[in-house]
Structure 1
Amino acid sequence: MKIAVSDVKKQFGQIERLVLRAFESSMYLVQVKLKQGSELLNVCDDEGTIMRFNSQLDAKLPFKGLGIESTVLIHESPYNEMIGMPATEKPAPLEVKLANPDDDLS
């Protein structure tokens, strides 16, 4: 499911988790988990297009001042067989805790 960034900005104090999904070539997609929901929502612009960012700092900028409780970066690698792992075995994605947008002084 999707949620417009303008609707996210109306959710002050209601965003439990901000998830930045890292893909190759410096592409980041953003998802949010609201306190009253159980699923991650893909953040899109007001026209319904999923938003893409070039860095994790750019991805966090629209969410400053929203009182987000937790921010993580998730990266899944499609290249397991290139490093000697079986192509059929899918390892758990790398998940790294990041500073929340309100705490990031960059």
Structure 2
Amino acid sequence: MRHEATQASVLPATAPADYGIDLAAILDEVRPHLAGKTSAEVGEAGGLNPVVVSQLFTRNRPASLGAVAALADAAGGRLVVKFEPPAKPRASKPKTAKGKRP
């Protein structure tokens, strides 16, 4: 039996920009490190189709995290994505009954 997704079980799509990640800006940082290379050379080095490389750099295709990571690799660098867990609340002192030691 095939599972059909219901509207309630489908989460809304979110873009990295919704979380403060500007992939276009990161792409702009990578671009100078690829200067002098053709889209074909960059595509081969990063495992991307040369047409996709061209579309990314002309902003005719939205950048994905994977594509930016591939371009960073093609440039000889790497893209770092890091999870920062929430700060742990400070441990409170144990409460004791009045007049008693802990």
TM exceeding 0.5: no
TM-score (norm 2): 0.24
In proportion to residue count, which structure has more helix? 2
Larger Rg: 2
If asked which structure has higher relative contact order (CA below 8 Å, sep 6+), I would say 1
TM-score (norm 1): 0.23
In proportion to residue count, which structure has more strand? 1
